[in-house]
Structure 1
Amino acid sequence: MRAPEGPIEFTVGAGAGGSPDIIMRTIAQIMNEEGIVENPIVIQNRSGGGHSNAYNHVLGLPGNETTLLTLASPVFTTPIVQGTDSVIDQITPIAGFVQSELVLLTTPDSPYNSLQDFVAAATEQPGRVRIAGGASGGNDHVATGLIEKAAGITLTYIPHESGSAARATFLGGNVEGHFATLAEGLEAINAGQAKALAILSAERRTEEGYADVPTATEQGVDVVYTQFWGVGGPPDLDPAVAAWWADKFEQATQTARWQESLEANMQLGEFYGLDEAGEYFAREQETFRTVLTQVGLAAQ
């Protein structure tokens, strides 16, 4: 293993305040403050274009040892939707390290009190029920497509530059639905800004605030979906540097601070490094390709 020299940039394709941004800021802070990485780490938000601004920046730095790309779902899905070359096939896989389930929210004054109500409204008026989400082809879009396919309905998906921008549209009462991570959803619920219709998990959550929220499957819509985040290096990154980074990410995810962050955000922390990460990313890419093709979002 070999350490890179100089300041480090973690490139993030989402705006400040979005899940990828928060995750990478948290782990960067842990790395620096706990002495795992001595190089100063800066988070650079290069949002827009379904994360293409971020990934094209990193793809344009072959062999660069001081820039890493945050891997969120649009990095996988945007090329599939746009019909461009796979990003995952070009980057150097380093680590996958955090996963999160999603909750479907509606506004607190909404007439919908269950996913069945939501589906019934969309059945009666196809396209009338709107979902505010992040980038086209991202997690929110995929989840929307899965709900549409499983329930046989048509929803209107409204993409935004980032998840935080989509959340603002939802909180402003401009749409009927929004997918959120469990922590984001609970914050909105506790603030009286939203109510939960369904969680896209295999089993009900047991935390206060979610214990009484049925899964989508329980409500007759057979959808289970988990989003994930990871990190990769530019093409042709020295394997010794990639191994060094994988080791540092694994060390950071084993700290008490990271474990506390996972618990606070109701996230999962399965770790994949190097070749295992590459295999994991390849499997997820094919899953995205299959789902996006099924729901008609993949470029032909």
Structure 2
Amino acid sequence: MKKLFVVLVCVLALSGVLWAQGNAEAAKYPDRGIEFVIPGSAGGGSDILGRTIADIIQKYKLVDQTITIVNKGGGASAVSHGYVNAKTDVDYYLLTCNSANQLSMHVNKSMSPKGPFTPIANMALDDILLVSRTDGKFPDWASVEKAIKANPSSLTVGLADDLDAMALALLEEKTGTKFNYSAYFASSGEVATALLGGHMDLAILNPVECVGLVEGGRLTAIGSFAPKAMSAPFEKTPTFTALGHPDVVMQMSRSVIGPAGMSREAQLFWSDILQKVSETEEWKVGYIQKNVLEGQYLNADDFTKFYGESEKMLLDFAKKLGIL
């Protein structure tokens, strides 16, 4: 009987050790550094999003491991997607994503053969602007409309991705205009630089991509695709609805996704971390307010639904406008 008792004690002790080890291993994730991949170059909207998130996580020690920003611009997000698709340890990679990337992955077929990317969290909604040089020939939409209707395709508009092209196609369709929009660049930062250098007449940019240049008086936002009037420094920028074109409305989502095949554990882990990020003052004031965005956090499950619905809408719209 005594031997049986000793055996039982040993079995229970061993079970306890194994249970503790199993839980310790489960609690370890992430047990090494994370790469946060940006489908664009430094200074663009996606880069600002990724670096802001990483800085907040590290400031508040929300994750024990280091987060390394990796810029992989080019190919309308195809380079970044290909880089991540080649990885096998998929739980250790995050990507910024936006509506343009969602569309581009279908245009350039850069999704993984293993399946779709893993939605983690939506973080914000971003408006879209038509922008000109402040010292240029086009101080407002009326001057643009007059010039382009007198001489179709005479004005060049800088674009960074397929969503920019879709926004311009929408503007053309609803206003009866025709632009030359062959000026594609690897990132929005390059678009802004080219516009400032006089290499184009206009550009499609998000507020986060030009707010400093607008505040500095170098660029002027002459029309907004936003559904309602925007806040400073774009409070004087008329929406196209106010300009008499109520169907010229479009917004971009800004989010975080994981590679195809990311585990549910990792997906929920980062969804929770990103919720904590969205609740900080640095996020609300230093990112959302500063860059004239609309805060909209959606957790993994809500974002998965939103992601699917927005993807369908984008693809239907792109086919209608001839983007696909």
Partner of 1:122: 148
Higher mean C-alpha deviation, range 65-74 or range 164-173:
65-74
Residue type of the partner of 1:247? D
SS in structure 2 of the partner of residue 271 of structure 1? strand
Partner of 1:39: 65
Runs of 4+ in 1 over 3 A off after TM superposition: 85-89, 183-186
2:242 is aligned with 1:210: no
Mapped contact 1:63–1:235 kept (Cα < 8 A) = no
Partner of 1:234: 259
Mapped contact 1:62–1:234 kept (Cα < 8 A) = no
SS in structure 1 of the partner of residue 90 of structure 2? coil
Q: More helix per residue: 1 or 2?
A: 2
**Structure 1 155/45 Cα, relative in aligned 2: closer, same or farther at 3 Å?**
same
Mapped contact 1:145–1:295 kept (Cα < 8 A) = yes
Measure, in 1, the Cα distance between the counterparts of 2:39 and 2:235: 33
Q: Write the mapping of 1:1-300 to structure 2, written as runs, cut at 5 A.
A: 3-62=29-88, 64-82=90-108, 84=109, 90-135=116-161, 137=162, 139-157=163-181, 158-207=183-232, 209-221=233-245, 222-261=247-286, 262-298=288-324
Task: Please give the per-residue CA displacement for 1:274-297, whole angstroms capped at 9, x wherever unaligned.
Answer: 121111111111122122112211
Shift, 1:101, TM fit: 1.1
Mapped contact 1:133–1:167 kept (Cα < 8 A) = no
Shift, 1:228, TM fit: 1.7
Partner of 2:5: none
Shift, 1:253, TM fit: 0.9
Residue type of the partner of 1:31? I
Measure, in 2, the Cα distance between the counterparts of 1:169 and 1:85: 27
> What CA RMSD, in Å, does the superposition of the two structures yield over aligned residues?
1.9
Residue type of the partner of 1:167? A
Mapped contact 1:63–1:234 kept (Cα < 8 A) = no
Measure, in 2, the Cα distance between the counterparts of 1:71 and 1:103: 19
Task: Please give the per-residue CA displacement for 1:123-142, whole angstroms capped at 9, x wherever unaligned.
Answer: 2212111111213x1x3222
Q: With CA pairs under 8 Å and 6+ residues apart, which has the higher RCO, 1 or 2? A: 1
Task: Please give the per-residue CA displacement for 1:210-268, whole angstroms capped at 9, x wherever unaligned.
Answer: 33221111112231111121111122211111111110011111111111121111111
SS in structure 1 of the partner of residue 295 of structure 2? coil
Residue type of the partner of 1:241? A
Measure, in 2, the Cα distance between the counterparts of 1:89 and 1:64: 13
Measure, in 1, the Cα distance between the counterparts of 2:43 and 2:208: 13
The two structures have a TM-score, normalised by structure 2, of 0.85
Higher mean C-alpha deviation, range 18-27 or range 278-287:
278-287
Residue type of the partner of 1:39? Q
Which ranges in structure 1 are unaligned for 5 or more consecutive residues? none
Task: Please give the per-residue CA displacement for 1:29-61, whole angstroms capped at 9, x wherever unaligned.
Answer: 100110111110000001111111111222222
Task: Give the length in aligned residue pairs.
Answer: 294
Measure, in 1, the Cα distance between the counterparts of 2:208 and 2:94: 26
State the percentage of identical aligned residues: 22
Higher mean C-alpha deviation, range 73-82 or range 229-238:
73-82
Measure, in 2, the Cα distance between the counterparts of 1:15 and 1:239: 30
Residue type of the partner of 2:106? I
Mapped contact 1:11–1:54 kept (Cα < 8 A) = yes
Mapped contact 1:102–1:225 kept (Cα < 8 A) = yes
Measure, in 2, the Cα distance between the counterparts of 1:55 and 1:85: 6
Measure, in 1, the Cα distance between the counterparts of 2:289 and 2:231: 13
Measure, in 2, the Cα distance between the counterparts of 1:35 and 1:56: 30
SS in structure 2 of the partner of residue 219 of structure 1? coil
Residue type of the partner of 1:177? L
